[in-house]
Structure 1
Amino acid sequence: MFTRRFIPVVQSTKQNIGKYIRRDARFTLLTYNMLSPSYMWPQVYTYVAEPYKNWSYRHRLLERELLNTFKADIMCLQEMTARDYEDYWHDSIGVDVNYGSKFISKTPPKYWKKPVKDMDGVSIFYNLAKFDFISSSGIYLNQLLNVFNERELKYLYNKRVTLTDGASNVIGEDSLLDVLKGKNQVCLFVSLKHKETGTIFVVLNTHLYWKYDEVKLTQCMIIMRELSKIIKQLLPGDVKGQGKVKILFTGDLNSTRDSLVVNFLQGQIVSHGDLNLINPMRPYLDRCVYDDIPKDYFVHTCYSGKLKGIFDYVWYHDSDFSLTKILTGNEVSDELLASNQLGLPNENHPSDHIPLLTEFKIL
C-alpha cells in the first residue's frame, strides 16, 4: 500500500504579507464522501471484489480512518445515512471522543424503495475541546427557490435542460426550475466559536447533484445566498464586525476545477443565460485548497470506475486562514496503477472518494 503524506504547505512571501498567526490557532479539517451502502450499485462497481463491497467491512475501515488515523477537529462527511448517524456515529463520536455533531438527511426521491432511515445526508462533527457550539441550520435546496427574484425565476422556468440516464443517453428535457424542484440535495451550516481565539466560524457541508452543470451552479447560488442571511443573523447591525466571522465551505461539489461552479465560487461573473451570477460571498471565500498547493499533490479525489476527478473541496479566504498542511492524494493513483485496479473502494480504501484532510491556522 502506498502511504499518503500529511505534509506542510509552503506559503509564498507575497501571500503572507500583512498577515499574522494567532497563538494556538491551529486546527484540522476533513471533508469526505463515505459512499453510502445504498449507492454500491452492482452495475457501477463491477471492478470491486465482493468482500470490499460489504458495508460491515467498509464501515470498520471508516471507523479506523476517522476515529484513529485522522481524528480531525472538524469532520464534514457526505453520504452518511440517517440510520448510521443515529445508531453509530452520533453516540460513538459524541460520547467516546468528545465531539459534537449535526446531521441533515435528504428527502427520499420517488424511486426510493428502502426505509427512510437508509436515506443519506451530510454531517458535521466538531471537537468540543477546541470549539463551542453556537447554532446550526440545515436547508433543502429544492425548497429555497424563493432566494431568486421574479426575473430569475422566469429564466429558470424558461431554461431547458436536456435529461440523460446513467449511461448519458438522452431521455428528454425539462425546465431548469422543475429539475431543481425534483432534486433532494441539502446543505448543513454549523456556527462554532474557536475557544482559544474567540473566532466565530460558519462551517458548511454539502453534496451537490452529480450532473447538469446548470443545476449544480444554481444549487451553489442558493447556498451562498442562504449563507449571507446566516452571517447577518450572527452579526445583527454590526456591519464593521462582519470580518469577525470566518467561513469554511466544504463538500463533494461534483464539479471539476474548470466547471461553472468553481468559476462562480472564484468570483467570476458566470453567464447563466440572461443572468449574470456573482457570488455574494466572495469577500468570505476567495480560494480553495488546490490554489495553495502544487498541482501534482492530487490526481483525483474520486475514483469511481470511469468517473474520476477532483470533486471534493475546502473553500476559505486567505485573509482568514492559512493552509499549513494537507494530506496528499497522488499516492492513491500510484497505488491503483501499480496494482492494476480500475478504482475504489478496495481492500485499503472504504469509499470511492479519498478523504481531503487539511490543517489551517487562523490569521
Structure 2
Amino acid sequence: MSSVDLSRFLLQETTLGAITSWLPWESELSDLAVGDPAFAAASAVVLDGDLDAGDLDVNLDNLYPRDHQHPLPFLLLVRGSVRARAVVNSDFDGGTHLVVLGDLDADYLITFDQETFVGGALRLRRAWWGIGEAGNLMVRGPISAPALIADGYRVDDERIRARHGVTNTAFLFRDGTDYLPRAHACCVIADKYVCDDDSFDDEQIPNGVVDWVEPFDVLDAVTGGQDPFAEPICDPTEDLFVPEPDLFGCSEAELRDRFSAEVSAESVVAVMAHPLVMGRCETYDHDLIDEDRRYSVRRASGETPARLTIVRVISDPHLMYRFHHFEARRSPCGTTSVELLTQKSAGARCEPEPVPEHRVDHYIDALSCFRRLREFLAESV
C-alpha cells in the first residue's frame, strides 16, 4: 500500500524544546524537552489540524526521503486527529515518535520502540502491536481494537485487563523471556506468520513459541496491503489444558490419597532421571515445553531438596501462570513424601509456599499436569 505524502499538508518544522507547551504532560517527550538540552534541540514536525490519509498508510519511516541533509524528525505532532489505513513505524534506532492530540482511527497501528500518544480515542479495526522495551503507548480516551499486543512494549496493562474504557477481544502482554503457546499465538496472528518449528534451537522442543513471530514479516504484510492477523481474532487466554475428568468427583480426602499414590517420591525421582529431562533440564533455567506447559528441574544440593516445577499458562488475567512445585522432602522418621507448593508469580518477591489441602482445584490441576508430563515423556521415547 502507498504511504501518504505529507508534503500535501501544511507542516511546521521546529524543535522539541520550542513546542513544550503543546506536549501532553503524560508524554515522556515532555520531560525530555524540558530536562535535556540535546533532546530540546531535536527536530519536530507539527501539523496544525487533522491528518486524513484516507485509504493510505501513514508510514513514519518514510516521512521524507532518507538523506543526511534531511533526516527523519524526532517527533510528529498532530494537533488534530489521524485517520489512515495503517500507522506504522519500524525503526528501532532513531525513528519518529508520534503524538496525536485528537483521535487515531485506523485498521492497524504497529510501532517499534517509539512513543505513541493519543489524546482522544484510539479506534482500530484490526490490531495494535507495540514492539521493543523503549516504546510506550499512552491513550487518554477509550480504546477499541480486536487485538492489543504488547511485545515488550510499555502500556497500561492494568487498564486493559480491567476493561476500563477498553473494548478488545484479545490482549497479549509479554516480554522477551515469556513463553507463548503456539495455539495462543495463532489466536491473533495467521498461522503462516507464526515461527516455524525449525526456528528453535536444539535445546527446545518445537511445540511452543518463544520468539513467536518475525515482526518484520507482519509489518511487510501490512504495508503490502495484506492482513497478517487471524480471522477471526479470538481470546488467547482460554485454557488449553483440561484437567482429568475422573478427578472432579473426588472428595478432598480421596484426592489427597490419589495425589500421594501417583505423585510419590519414587515417581518424581523417575521423572527427573528420564533421559529427556536429564538432557534438556541441565539447570533450573532450562525448560521442556509442551503446548501450554513448561517443565523444569532443580537438583538436590545440600539441604535444598530436589524440585520438579510445572508452569502452566492459564486464563486468570491477574496471575497469567499457575505454578506447581513438587518437592521430595524427608521426614524426621526417615520417610520421603512429595509436598506441593505454588507461587503467585516468578521472582524472589513471590517465594513458593505450600498449597493447603482444601485447595482441591489446585491439587486436581497439579495431578493432571503430572499425569500429562509422564505421558509426554513416554511419547518421547
Q: TM-score range by the shorter chain?
A: under 0.3
Higher relative contact order (CA 8 A, sep 6+): 1
> Which of 1 and 2 has greater Rg?
2
Q: What TM-score do you get using the length of structure 1 for normalisation?
A: 0.26
